Amino acid sequence: MKGISYKTYFIKEEEEAAFTLPVPTSHFIENEFYKIFHDEKGVHILDKRTQAIHEQAILIEDAGDEGDSFDYSYPDYDWQITDQLEHANIDYTASPYEQSMKISGCMEVPRNLQERKEKKQTGILNYEINLRLETQSPVIKISGTFNNDSEQHRVRLIFTGQQANTHSFAGTQYSIIKRKTFSEEETYWKEKEYFEEPSPIYPLLNHVSAVHDKQVMTVYTRSSKEYEFVGEGYKNIGVTIFRAYGALGYPDLNRRPGRPSGLDYRVFETPTCQMLGDNHFELGLSYQTEFEENTVFNQYVEYATDSSVYQKQSFDKSINPIDYFPTNPLKNQLPTECEFLEIENGEGVFGSLVKSDQSNAYLLRVFNSKAEEVDAGQLKGAISKNTSVVTNLEETEEKAMNEKTTRLQSGELRIIKINRGEN
C-alpha cells in the first residue's frame, strides 16, 4: 500500500478455506536482510548485505540504583550482573510474512542494595524477549517483558558494537544531535565543585546510532526513553528498560552530593516506582553501511506507526442484540480503496498530516535532517488534486508551490497547506 491509503477486503466464509499459521522451526530466523541464531555463547546476527556477524549482539545488564525519580545514581557498593543469553530457552516460529525468535529465561539478582553490597542474589528477574523479522523490513523488532521482584536497581538491554565511539548520533524532533560519549568534565567535576556529575545518559526520543565508515548500528524505540554508550571504547549502546527506585527525591547522592532533589525538608516515598511486576518494552535494531539521516528517520516512522484495522460486518439485531456502543453507518458511501496521499520521489522525511485549527485545510509537515538539500518530491493521491501552498507555523503566510519548492534545504521544516474547500 502506498503512503496514506486504505483497502477493503471482503472475506467469504468457506468450509475448507486456505490459511497459514506460524509453525515451529529450528536453529535460526531470517529475512532478506538478516539471519539471527543462538548458540552456547548467546544471540548472533548475520547482516546478509555485508556478511558481517554481530556476535553476542544483545545482552541484559542489571546494576544497582540508589537514585530517585530525578536521576539515576550509582551506589557505593555496586555489582553489575550481565546475562549474555547463552543459557536462555529459545523458540522459533515462521510464517510466509514473519519469523520470530522467543528468548526466555531468568536472572538471579540482588533483591536490594544491601544484598548487592553483600553479593547475594535472592531476587529473580524473569524475562521474555521476542525478536521479529518481517518480510522486506530492515528493522529487527524487539519486544518483551521483564518480571521484577527486586528494588533499587536498573535493568538495561545492551546492543553490542564492534568499534569504539567518541560520539552518538540521536534523533530529535526534526534533526540529528551529535553528543559526546565521554566528556572530560566527568573526571574533575567534584574538584570543580559542580552541583552534580555530568551525565553521559541521554534522552532517547526516537532513535540513536553508532556511526562508522561502512558500519552503522541504529536502535529505535517505542518505549524506553534513555540511552548511554557503554563498555570498552564505548562500543555498545545501553538502553534503559526500567529503573526501580523508592523516592521522589533523595538528598546527598553520589551523582548529586549534598543537594537534595525536590523538597529539602522531606523525602516522599514512591513504592510503586520500584517497578515490581511486569515491565514491557518495544525497541528496534538495524545495521547499515552508511549513516543516511533521512533514511533512519523514515525507517523510524515505519517502525513506530501501526496500521489501523477495523471490521465492518452487518448482522441482524434481533438475533445479535447490541447493548452498548452501536456502530452508526457513515453519512457518505466510501470507495472500497483510496490512495489518499503519497510523496513520490521525495528524499525528505514525513513529519505529520493534521487538520488545521484555523481552516478546513490539511497541514502536511515534511523536513530534511541532512546537511545538504534534497528533492522534496511530488504530492500524489486523491488529496493532491487540491490547491497546495507553503505556509508557516501560524498559517499567517502563504507562498505558491513552484520550481523553488522542489528542493528541501538543509534543516528545513516545511509546512504544506492543502486546501479542502468549504465542504
Q: What is the pLDDT of residues 319-361, one digit of tens each?
A: 766 666 666 777 888 899 999 999 999 999 999 999 999 888 9
The answer to whether 387 and 337 have CB atoms below 8 angstroms apart is: no
Categorise residue 55: left if φ over 0, alpha if ψ from -120 to 50, beta otherwise. Answer: beta
The answer on pLDDT for 311 being more than 90 is no
* Domains of the chain, earliest start first: 21-304 (2.70.98.30), 338-418 (2.60.40)
User: Percent of the chain beyond pLDDT 90?
Assistant: 78
What's the grid cell of residue 136?
A: 522486506
What integer pLDDT is reported at residue 358 of this predicted model? 87
pLDDT at 410: 96
Confidence of residue 423 (pLDDT cuts 50, 70, 90): very low
What is the pLDDT at residue 422?
A: 54
Average the pLDDT over each of 70-79, 87-96, 159-168, 244-253 and give the range with the smallest value.
244-253
Q: Mean pLDDT over all residues of the chain?
A: 92
Residue 119 has pLDDT above 80, yes or no: yes
Amino acid type, 7: K
- The answer to whether residues 131 and 140 touch, using CB atoms and an 8 Å cutoff, is yes
Tell me which residue of 284, 212, 166 sits closest to 52, measured CA to CA.
Answer: 212
Please name the residues in contact with 283: beta carbons below 8 A apart, sequence gap of 6 or more.
142, 143, 157, 219, 220, 221, 222, 223, 224, 239
Grade residue 283 by pLDDT with cuts at 50, 70 and 90.
Answer: very high
Residue labelled with grid coordinates 565508515: 213
pLDDT tens digits for range 169-202: 999 999 999 999 999 999 999 999 998 999 999 9
pTM of whole model > 0.75? yes
